[in-house]
Amino acid sequence: MPSCERVLYGADYNPDQWLHDPAVLLEDVELMKKVHATSASVGIFSWTALEPSPGVYTFDWLDETMDRFAKNGLVVFLATPSGSKPMWMSELYPEIRRVNAHGQREPSGGRHNHCPTSPVYRQAVARINRELAKRYAKHPALALWHIGNELNGECHCPLCKNAFHDWLKQRYGSLEELNRAWWAGFWNHTFTDWSQIPTIDKSIDGLCVDWLRFMNDQHVSFLETEMAPLREITPQVPCTTNMMGTNRGTNYWKWSKTLDCISNDIYPLPDDRADTWRKSLGSDFTHSLMRGFAGGNPWMIMECSPSSVNWSKINKLKRPGVHLQEVMQAVANGADVVHYFQWRKGLGGFEKFHGAVVDHEGGTEGRVFKECAEVGRVLRSLSPVVGIAPARAPVALVYDWEARWALDSSAGPKAGTYGDRYTEACVENFRALRSAGVEVDLVAVDADFSPYRVVVTPALYSLSTETARRLADFASAGGTWVATYLTGYVDTNNRCWRGGFPGPCLREVFGFWNEEVDYLFDDEKVLVQGAFSGLDLLTEATDIVEHIHAEGATTLATVESEFYAGSPIILRNDWGMGQTCYIGARLAEEGYVAFYQHLAKELDLPRLSLPRGVVRKTRLGADGPVEFLFNYNRHEVALDLGEDTFVRVADGKPCRGKITLRPYDSLLKGVRVSDAAAAAKPVSHPTRHELQPS
């Protein structure tokens, strides 16, 4: 993380787009001070402004920006410009443009369309990055390297295809082993030469998963190429790249191992409907994922919007209080940096109507500008939490991209609402745990599970023998392993396990056999009934219901409709000194919550009992714990705080005893919000700097 004594606050900043109007550049710094900004991401799409023709560099505008920031006590997250290629380069070297799945070379323009394998592009990126590192290595404004921008996507060009073949040779060693792993004899897909293997064939689901693994590895390799000259010349400056939550094609667990710190772009879309609290808990899921990538340490929001976006079907404004809560929510979950896209709205281009701190009007009287200033004021009060890792939760939830890829690539299981059944299952279980008042960490499938009391693995469709053994050992040693429908259907090559589901060899561990699966129509529901320690459960299952036979496990709930009525659907099994639990259907929300409330009570897990949509988070601080209380609802909620005294962030007024939480309310305990300016510690920077010769 960049070194600082307060929460860093700023935005993507594009001074190169305003060189025709120098007055704007001077005004920007003064406006940044008014919103209590500390930092800006600079140069993300500036390659042509830095190198207008091959080998010709024009750094004057960036020199002035860096000096202006240093003089005014601001720091820069200096971007490498690889996220968008110069037009001259794209036309001069066509090979750096991606080829789509239909074999067509993409035209110049757009963004995120470079070939990650191209040696020409890798060399060009390394050159410009070296020039940037040499020039600004000792500049006092340089706080962080921002690598590229939202790196993702696929390329099917001959370079990538050949690299894929080399990757497969390294993975499998022989065509015989590859054909066996992919079950290639089906539909006569047996390969007799490496050159026959395509980059895409949806009828070979093992190939689909391996292609995504390969492309993810290419992105990681590209990142490492980008960072090499920066780490050589500026080893003291951390490197990050802005992730995109649960983006389908990027296994960020692997990315996190090569980055110095974790940053994410998140755009929760405004929603004025009654269930807005569900979306807020979805954001908590993403924040917890970032905290997992960071190894439990603080992380960064590199992009969010203070208001609307421009790319949604409906670009709705955020209601008063929503954005302040979004920012506080991120900090409560471990964020030490909050940046926007964007600082100032551009006058043209695709994102000219995207939300920004400074509107086209350019003044300080707009609602959004005032709200951003309020956010900056509040963030200054939160300096005690900076740099301190959030406390570990008692429950870990596994999020595994490879299980997701395997499920997405398999014909048969019903697709999710958004085509992503796996993430849907993970979010629903996370949301139920949080609604039950239980804190949750997100971890990788190869994580160390021993620090946790409970490990939850929703829809872990692809499961290796090693992972199954590690999870079973965790339960045997005294832990509780909770799994759900679609667990252990295939191995890491997307081949079904023999011996019945769940595999591999988990029938004994869970004490049941999953004979078959009923995929329901969208409007179809199946009744589920059971009793958890006296808590009667009557709920519904939708989409997926497994036909299960108990083989030693205790039945906690059964199906009460359809031809398989009476069969178990929620089970518990003793395993060693611990236990396993299984939920064999996609339950309605109250069913999940009831189960996790029962489990928390049984295991005596620390938990809070709060109204639906009200969340309380604790983050450790230098002077003691800092507590956050949020009302994620768009309606008022009555709450009894007892002897606790919180401060309402919006007005600085104390709250105690029986109170009414306003819509999107945010409360704090453990810091003084009313005198935030006095609580902030100054950031010290030299006022002048001589640039190093390039």
Q: What's 611-653 look like in SS3? A: CCCEEEEEECCCCCCEEEEEECCCCCEEEEEEEEEEEECCCCC
pLDDT over 50 (residue 684): no
What is the average pLDDT across 640-654? 93
- Average pLDDT in the chain: 93
Cis peptide before 218 (omega within 30 of 0): no
pLDDT at 685 over 70: no
At residue 274, the pLDDT reads: 63
At 262, give phi and psi (nearest 5°).
-110, 135
Q: Chain-centre distance of CA 562, in angstroms?
A: 38
pLDDT at 415 over 80: no
Q: Answer yes or no: is pLDDT of 166 > 50.
A: yes
| Known catalytic residue at 428 | no
Strand segments (E) across 485-576: 512-519, 526-532, 535-550, 554-559, 568-575
Gap between the Cα atoms of 475 and 200, Å rounded: 39
d(CA 603, CA 436) in angstroms, rounded, equals 13
If one compares 3 and 22, the residue with the highest pLDDT of the two is 22
474-484 residue pLDDT tens: 999 999 999 99
17/679: higher pLDDT: 17
Residue-wise pLDDT for 59-83, tens only, equals 999 999 999 999 999 999 999 999 9
User: What mean pLDDT do residues 636-663 have?
Assistant: 94
Q: What is the pLDDT of residue 287?
A: 97
Q: Provide the percentage of residues in the chain whose pLDDT is more than 90.
A: 86
| Mean pLDDT, residues 204-209 taken together | 97
Which CATH code fits 395-603?
A: 3.40.50.880
Question: Could you say which of 154, 226, 303, 326 is catalytic?
Answer: 303
Quote the pLDDT of residue 534.
63
Assess whether pLDDT exceeds 80 at residue 536.
Answer: no
For residue 350, CA distances in Å to 43, 305, 346, 354 come to 18, 16, 9, 9
Angle at Cα 55 formed by Cα 53 and Cα 61, nearest 5°? 70
The rounded distance, in Å, linking the Cα atoms of 160 and 99 is: 9
180 has pLDDT over 50? yes
What integer pLDDT is reported at residue 1 of this predicted model? 72
User: Above 90 in pLDDT, residue 656?
Assistant: yes
Instruction: State whether residue 205 is helix, strand or coil.
Output: helix
Return the minimum-mean-pLDDT range out of 178-187, 305-314, 383-392, 464-473.
305-314
Considering the candidates 150, 371, 439, 546, report the single residue annotated as catalytic: 150
> Residue 181 — pLDDT band, cuts 50, 70, 90?
very high
How crowded is the C-beta side of 168, counted as CA atoms within 13 Å? 30
**Cα atoms in the 13 Å half-sphere on the side-chain side of 294:** 30
* CA proximity to 157, closest of 125, 185, 121, 124: 121
| The pLDDT value given to residue 202 | 93
Span 369-380, pLDDT tens digits = 999 999 999 999
Residue 586: the pLDDT is: 97
Q: Where in the chain are the domains?
A: 8-155+217-385, 395-603, 614-679
pLDDT band at 681 (very low <50, low <70, confident <90, very high): very low
Residues 263-308 have pLDDT tens digits of 999 998 766 566 789 999 999 999 999 999 999 999 999 999 998 8
pTM: 0.94
The yes-or-no verdict on residue 120 having pLDDT over 70 is yes
CATH number at 8-155+217-385: 3.20.20.80
Nearest to 37 by CA among 375, 276, 354: 375
- Give the H/E segment covering residue 349: none
Condensed to tens digits (0 to 9), the pLDDT of residues 438-456 reads: 999 999 999 999 999 999 9
Confidence of residue 417 (pLDDT cuts 50, 70, 90): low
Lowest average pLDDT, out of 420-434, 499-513, 533-547, goes to 533-547
Q: For position 682, what pLDDT does the model report?
A: 35
pLDDT at 316: 86
What pLDDT, on a 0 to 100 scale, did the predictor assign at position 673? 75
Of the listed ranges 39-48, 308-317, 363-372, 492-501, the one predicted with least confidence:
308-317
Is 371 one of the catalytic residues? no
Q: Given pLDDT bands bounded at 50, 70 and 90, which one contains residue 312?
A: confident
Whether 395-603 and 614-679 share one fold: the answer is no
Arch. (CATH architecture) of 614-679: Sandwich (2.60)
Q: What is the rounded distance in angstroms from the CA atom of residue 688 to the CA atom of residue 68?
A: 9
* pLDDT computed for residue 113 by the predictor: 82
pLDDT band (50, 70, 90) for residue 388: very high
Answer with the residue of higher pLDDT: 598 or 689: 598
For residue 428, what are the CA distances in angstroms to 167, 596, 600?
Answer: 36, 12, 17
Distance CA(228)–CA(350), nearest Å, equals 32
| 440 beta partners | 395
Q: What pLDDT score was predicted for residue 345?
A: 94
Residue 687 clears pLDDT 60, i.e. is over it: no
Structure confidence by residue, pLDDT tens digits, 236-271: 999 999 999 999 999 999 999 999 999 999 998 766
> What is the per-residue pLDDT for 457?
98
CB neighbour class for 221 (10 Å; exposed up to 12, middle 13-18, buried from 19): middle
When mean pLDDT is compared across 34-38, 115-119, 451-455, 535-539, the lowest value belongs to 535-539
One-letter amino acid for residue 560 of the chain: E
